[in-house]
Chain A
Amino acid sequence: MRLSFTLPFFLVAALLATSCRDSGPTGTNIVTRELPESQQSFRLVDSSAERFRYQKRDAAASTESAPAASSAPELIYTTPEGWEKQDGSMMRDVNLAFGENGEGECYVARLPGAGGGLVANVNRWLGQMGADSLTEEEINALPKKPLFGQPATFLDVEGDFSPGMGSTEVMKDYRLLGLILASDAGAVFVKMTGPKTLVGENADAFDVFTSSLDVSLN
């Protein structure tokens, strides 16, 4: 019976002993050690920023904040007079607004790969303006304007605009000017909407803008 009592006490003692999960210097005093060859060199930097790897983090942060559109080549264009740049979004590579209260908007969107096709998208926009759908022949017969040097289908519709996508409001007496280019590398959309008269005033500006759109080869 004595023997079996000592076992637990041994363990209690072991428990109370300082548990060290790893080896190496312990205690409170400064000790010295010889440095092995593999640990004798250092990278001596001048600035705290470098020592704290801050430049890298800073650079990384700034590239993160750039919109995802940077995966595709950058777009360059002429901003027509009176048009103001807005923040781009995940979908909109270029986003411009015009008019006194910014009710007019014009954006460029690119969809890689599929995108749904010309017919589907033309009819989608027509639907948003409350107009009837067109057949494929009718769509192919629509006028074309240049976009990135290629002929793109041009759409000019007037009506009541329901943008959908979460908002249920209907904007009366609107006009839509749009260009759709469906190519193998992807589909490109340029869509301008706004009150009828405002859009009429900016119809030329639309042409200036779209014909100036180009891809920068940086």
Chain B
Amino acid sequence: MASKPIDWSPSNWPKLLYQFFTSFKVATAIFVLMTIVTLLGTLAQVDQGLYAAKVKYFHSFFFTDKIFGIPVLLPGGLLLMLVLFVNMTLGALVKVRKRWKGLGPLISHFGMLMLLAGGFVTWAFGTDGYMALYPGMSSNRVESYRNWQLEVFPLDENGQAKQAWILPSDELQSIRVDEQRSYDADGLPFDVIINGFTKNATPIPVTANGASDATGKEIDGFKLAPQETAKEAEQNLPGAYVAFDPDGEGENAEAILWAGSYRFDPKEDPMPFQFTVDGKNYGAMLAKKSWHVPFEVRLDEFIFERHPGVSTARNFESRVTRFSEAQETSLEIKMNEPMRYVGYTFFQESFGPPDGKPGEMFSQFAVANNPADQWPLWALVVTTIGLGIHFCVMLIDFIVRSRKKTSAAPSS
């Protein structure tokens, strides 16, 4: 069968594009590429950790990798899913011949589109963070797992603060190790100058072994030694060289700020760097990025059980009270039974400290705000119906044809 020569003229481009985006060949190619990308990404997770590999392979448009030592350029997860979405919409919904036999695939493709759309919405608009509480504590703040911001605040005579100035994490974390940026804040009688931000670092005294390798400045007997970024992104403790330049006269106050000075346990108070400008005391620290939810949660009781005689946790759950708009509600949050309220979902995620004894432990909730929370469920229902219809049609077809064959003369 001779093929017609392809018309490459610009006027034909829309048609060519349409043919490209609706072809089975493109769909198959995308699936093959997605399999390869998923495999490479999974293997990379062993060395790079889940989060870093996720960002490189699945949340990107392109990436480079080495297969058996040969460098290759491959499309990333985002690009593949985008093309797939277009391909499915145009090919499976628009182009396909509308006939009864094709009803199953039509419905299931629509379900898959819902799934993909849900994925995009979650990725673009979803938020996640955590809240850790000891029994008796209450809070309305959710902290980020891995993003840090800079906070500066005036301290009163009791060493407390009521208000803080924040340099947001997007800005802070974009500063490179060798870069300097300066910020002027209204209401603060000084500028904040950042002389380099390191994603993962440890302050070491200049007398320690290996201190000579650290190239940062020495402040108060310590230097900031950069470390390799940890595989689990949550384990990174960033550090920064910060200076406070008074608007009027006076010397700069310089400091190393380190994420490790922040709290590791909900009971702890963070340790800010203190300095004085114009006779007033101020504190500065790296703090986890945080935001608030429009209600307060108080942990009343945290129940923790291990399987008898072994160290595996059998069950852990929290009894909480939720305060909102002068209304109090008591409820339970446990594994597989989260609390959903005004768009936020609280999951029983974990607990600590790791060697804690029951009765002396804190409960940690994952707090997510995902507009597309229930979309996957609906997508699944739709897809299942579609696949089910298709499967039944195919099965009946196969049985009928096989019966015809076996009732005729035996072949083998």
Contact = CB atoms under 8 A, between A and B. Distances in A.
A24 B160 contact: no
B229 interface: no
A98 B58 CA distance: 65
A199 to B, nearest CB: 40
Interface of A: 1, 4, 7-8, 11-12, 14-15, 17, 19-36, 38-45, 48-54
Contact of A54 (B82, B124, B138, B205): B205
A50 B268 CA distance: 14
Interface stretch (B87-95, B305-313, B333-341): B87-95
A60 to B, nearest CB: 14
A8 B270 contact: no
Q: Which 5 pairs across A and B sit closest by C-beta, in order of nearness?
A: A23-B291, A24-B291, A25-B168, A43-B269, A52-B203
Contacts of A48: 203, 219-222, 256
Nearest to A54: B205
A88 to B, nearest CB: 22
6 contacts: A4-B90, A11-B85, A25-B169, A30-B167, A38-B139, A40-B162
Instruction: Determine the interface band of chain B, counting residues with CB < 8 A from chain A.
Output: 35 or more
B141 interface: yes
B270 A43 contact: yes
Given A51-B261, A51-B271, 10 more contacts: A19-B123, A21-B128, A22-B145, A26-B168, A34-B163, A42-B272, A44-B283, A48-B203, A51-B273, A52-B203
Interface in B169-223: 169-171, 183, 185-187, 192, 203, 205, 219-222
Contacts of A19: 123-124
Contact of A21 (B117, B126, B274): B126
A88 B159 CA distance: 49
Contacts of B126: 21
B78 A38 contact: no
Given A8-B82, A23-B127, A42-B269, A36 B89 contact: no
A111 B64 CA distance: 55
A118 B86 CA distance: 80
A39 B141 contact: yes
A35 B164 contact: yes
Nearest to B181: A28
A4 B88 CA distance: 10
A14 B183 CA distance: 31
A118 B227 CA distance: 52
A34 B162 contact: yes
Nearest to A52: B203
B163 A49 contact: no
B104 interface: no
B108 interface: no
Contacts of A11: 82, 85, 117, 120
Interface in B121-162: 121, 123-129, 137-142, 144-145, 147, 149, 153, 155, 159-162
A20 B124 CA distance: 7
B326 to A, nearest CB: 18
B139 A52 contact: no
Given A14-B121, A52-B260, A40 B165 contact: no
A11 B261 CA distance: 41
Nearest to A23: B291
A32 to B, nearest CB: 5
A68 B45 CA distance: 35
Interface string B67-103: 0000000000010001001100110011000000000
B258 interface: yes
A24 B287 CA distance: 12
A12 B86 CA distance: 11
A51 B291 CA distance: 25
B109 interface: no
A158 to B, nearest CB: 47
B318 interface: no
B364 interface: no
Which of the listed residues A7, A15, A17, A42 has the most CB atoms from chain B within 10 Å of its own CB? A42
Given A15-B78, A30-B185, A31-B165, A42 B283 contact: yes
A32 B160 contact: no
Given A30-B192, A52-B203, A43 B271 contact: yes
B345 interface: no
A52 B124 contact: no
B272 to A, nearest CB: 5
A50 B129 CA distance: 28
B290 interface: yes
Nearest to A53: B260
A45 B271 contact: yes
B149 A25 contact: yes
